[in-house]
Amino acid sequence: MKPNEFLICLDAGHGGLRPGVGADKYTTYPSKCFHHRQGNFHGYGWFFEGVFNRSLANYLYNYLLDYGFQVKKIYEDINDTTLNKRCQLANSYKTLAQSSILVSIHGNAAESTKARGWEIFTTPGETKSDKLATFIGNEVIKATPGWVHRTDRTDGDLDREANFQIIKNTAMPAVLSENGFFTNYQDALLMIDKEWQESIAKAHAKEVLQAYELAELDGFVGTDTGACVEKYFPEIKAVAVEAEVANLKITYAEDLKVAQALLTS
């Protein structure tokens, strides 16, 4: 599979900012935002989750394009489109590629302003999404030493599980990451920092790359070496050679021993 046969549907939660000044220019005001008593954030102490989501998703978008993948945004710059519409869009893009995944970017909020940290969600049960979540999770943990990682290892992997519509009603492995609590001042300071956003986006992108490279998400099982080479290394030509009794196929270490014994005998 070539990189452009791998498709990432990219989602950034909620809406953006309409032109003008004032918190009410934020499409989902007064929800999905928080006013801090100190700091500027997106203006006068306001932190708008949808604006943060778009900024982080945009870094990720560019990294994924650099890898040569197909990337389709299922969100709009300003409008907070319905989850139904986003799911429909993602599912309509599925036919564009041999294999596809969905990543939804969010920021977190809590009643308690003390809550902070990172978490990633998949739908309940063991699916291909869990593998993707584990890839991304491990990379984010590496990229953010000392931060709070709200993993749930009760079922053996680090993701948390919830039936969020965007990961439940989309027909591809899907994860939703919550990249810090914008209701926590320390987290909000991290989240507004462009370099921090870049490193979190890079962690997501690197692991999408790993998912692609392992090609585990497309469920391909090669029946023999030739089939695998043809699928994953299209630049290498697999050729059929007429068989002779003396031909020996070497697949396992044991075969190699037999071949060596024959050659030296």
Cβ atoms 136, 173 nearer than 8 A: no
Residues binding Zn ion: what is the number (CB under 5 A)?
2
Tokens of 183: 């209701």
Q: Write the CB contacts of 33 (distance below 8 Å, at least 6 apart in sequence).
A: 23, 26, 46, 47, 48, 49, 182
Site string for Zn ion, 73-112 (x = CB under 5 A): ---------------------------------x------
User: Which lies closer to Zn ion via its Cβ, residue 106 or residue 131?
Assistant: 106
Piece of the chain touching Zn ion by CB under 5 A; list 8-16, 129-137, 205-213, 248-256 = 8-16
The residue (of 32 and 36) whose beta carbon lies closer to Zn ion is 32
Q: Give 106 or 116: the residue with its C-beta nearer to Zn ion.
A: 106
Buried b (16+ CB within 10 A) or exposed e, 226-265: eeeeeeeeeeeeeeeeeeeeeeeeeeeeeeeeeeeeeeee
Write down the least CB distance from residue 222 to Zn ion, Å. 40
Q: For residues 9 and 172, is the Cβ–Cβ distance under 8 A?
A: yes
Which is nearer to Zn ion, 113 or 210 (by Cβ)? 113
Q: Which is nearer to Zn ion, 42 or 106 (CB)?
A: 106
- Nearest approach in angstroms of CB 108 to Zn ion is 7
CB of 13 to Zn ion, least distance (A): 4
CA distances from 117 to 21, 88, 111, 177 (A): 30, 31, 14, 11
> 13 or 137, CB closer to Zn ion?
13
- My answer on whether omega of the bond before 30 falls inside 30° of 0, hence cis, is yes
In this chain, which of 13, 16, 137, 173 binds Zn ion, going by CB under 5 A?
13
Query: Does residue 16 touch Zn ion according to CB under 5 A?
Result: no
CB of 20 to Zn ion, least distance (A): 23
* Closest alpha carbon to 41 in 104, 105, 103, 107: 107
Site residues (vs Zn ion, CB under 5 A) = 13, 106
